[in-house]
Amino acid sequence: MQGVAGIGVAQILNAFGVTETLVIAAGWFGRSWKPEEVSTVLTTIVSLGLAVYAWYGRETTSRPLA
């Protein structure tokens, strides 16, 4: 459930433009990326990671204890 909830939070943050503020940090290192591209890539990576976490949690909880 944590992985699925995290995916939802990542998408909500992307929808409100919060992830686009990370471009400011990239600008400190001389990078000039487009904010919408950076936020889309970051949200996709986070969502994929959390999907794997959710899948792992489902697999480990559905095993018998004995």
What's the whole-model pTM score? 0.64
Instruction: For residue 64, give the amino acid letter.
Output: P
Query: What was the pLDDT predicted at 11?
Result: 80
Query: What was the pLDDT predicted at 29?
Result: 66
In tens, the pLDDT along 2-35 reads 788 887 888 887 777 777 776 666 666 666 677 7
What does the DSSP 8-state code read for residue 33?
-
Do residues 53 and 2 touch, judged by C-beta distance below 8 A?
yes
Evaluate if residue 36 carries a pLDDT over 70: yes
| Domain ranges across the chain | 2-61
Query: What was the pLDDT predicted at 40?
Result: 81
Query: What was the pLDDT predicted at 65?
Result: 67
